[in-house]
């Protein structure tokens, strides 16, 4: 019996790749006009800063997503004043959040599942501050009962501790939790190892209708997921009534 549904945020509840492209373009233009760095050089410096941040933090923690640290390292490598770091961080995230829109059917999905009495949560890598800002922008925060970030757990997905905290906050057995995400290794395999019911969100290449493949439900739209889960709940209720 399903009691809780937990969602990844980036590239699940909204299209991170599209919003990131807009934000990174704004950042690139800032670097060119303010720092005198051409786009090709800036992209290489950005990759270098990512690598250094990964090495310094150990990789398996939310700090690897911290844009302030990332841009601080970039500016230090470039020999530019670090006073630009907070400006660049705000520019990136504010532009990304302004560009973010809910994935097709996301709002309907959460509303329907909440009305059905299911507990709803988020399980996401990243720092809590900007993930909350995204959820506010998407108007999804009022529909959620709990949030788990890799910052709180001090471990990225697909770590066991991450999914354990998701289960604890859901307040039900792992087998009663559905975990929805776009990343096969982080979301799907992590949820499977934790004993949860994984759902692979594949908006660009999945089947038109929800399809169960080797124990993994694949969906292209989130409202089709809520329809599917509600049909399962309805079937379970009918069985209970008959018995």
* Catalytic site includes residue 8: yes
Catalytic residue among 10, 125, 182, 223: 10
Q: Residue 3 in contact with residue 72, Cβ under 8 Å?
A: no
**Kind of pairing, strands 177-181 and 197-201?**
parallel
What pLDDT is attached to residue 205? 85
Give me the torsion for CA of 91, 92, 96, 98, rounded to 10°. -10
Class assignment of domain 4-15+101-242? alpha beta
Q: Which of 46, 104, 56, 100 is nearest to 78 (CA)?
A: 46
Q: What is the pLDDT of residue 239?
A: 42
Q: Is 44 left (phi over 0), alpha (psi -120 to 50) or beta?
A: alpha
| pLDDT value, residue 10 | 98
C-alpha separations of 11 from 71, 124, 186 in Å: 23, 11, 13
Catalytic (active site) residue 98: no
| pTM, 2 dp | 0.94
User: 185, 213, 218, 216: which is closest to 201 by C-alpha?
Assistant: 218
Catalytic residue among 8, 15, 125, 223: 8
Return per-residue pLDDT of the chain as tens, 243 residues.
999 999 999 999 999 999 999 999 999 999 999 999 999 999 999 999 999 999 999 999 999 999 999 999 999 999 999 999 999 999 999 999 999 999 999 999 999 999 999 999 999 999 999 999 999 999 999 999 999 999 999 999 999 999 999 999 999 999 999 999 999 999 999 999 999 999 999 999 877 889 988 889 999 999 999 999 999 887 454 444 433
Contact 202, 209 (CB under 8 A): no
* Burial class (CB within 10 angstroms; exposed 0-12, middle 13-18, buried 19+) of 161: exposed
pLDDT at 232 (0 to 100)? 87
Domain layout of the chain by residue ranges: 4-15+101-242, 17-99
**Do residues 210 and 228 lie in contact, with contact meaning Cβ atoms separated by under 8 Å?**
yes
Per-residue confidence (pLDDT) for residue 237, from 0 to 100 = 46
């Amino acid at each position: 019996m399903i009691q809780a549904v937990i969602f990844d945020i980036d590239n699940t509840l909204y299209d991170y790749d599209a919003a990131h492209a807009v934000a990174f373009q704004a950042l690139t233009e800032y670097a060119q006009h303010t720092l005198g760095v051409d786009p090709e050089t800036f992209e290489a410096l950005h990759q270098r800063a990512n690598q250094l941040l990964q090495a310094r933090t150990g990789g398996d923690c939310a700090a690897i997503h911290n844009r302030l640290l990332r841009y601080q390292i970039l500016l230090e490598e470039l020999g530019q004043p670090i006073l630009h770091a907070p400006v660049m961080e705000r520019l990136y995230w504010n532009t990304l959040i302004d560009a973010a829109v809910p994935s097709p059917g996301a709002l309907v999905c959460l509303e329907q599942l909440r009305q059905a009495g299911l507990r709803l949560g988020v399980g996401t890598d990243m720092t809590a501050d900007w993930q909350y800002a995204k959820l506010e922008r998407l108007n999804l925060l009022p529909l959620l009962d709990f949030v788990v970030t890799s910052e709180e757990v001090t471990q990225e997905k697909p770590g066991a501790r991450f999914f354990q905290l998701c289960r604890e906050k859901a307040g039900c057995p792992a087998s009663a939790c559905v975990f929805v995400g776009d990343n096969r290794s982080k979301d799907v395999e992590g949820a499977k190892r934790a004993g949860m019911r994984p759902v692979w969100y594949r908006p660009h290449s999945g089947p038109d209708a929800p399809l169960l493949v080797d124990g993994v439900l694949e969906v292209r739209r989130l409202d089709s997921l809520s329809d599917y889960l509600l049909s399962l709940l309805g079937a379970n209720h009918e069985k209970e009534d008959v018995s």
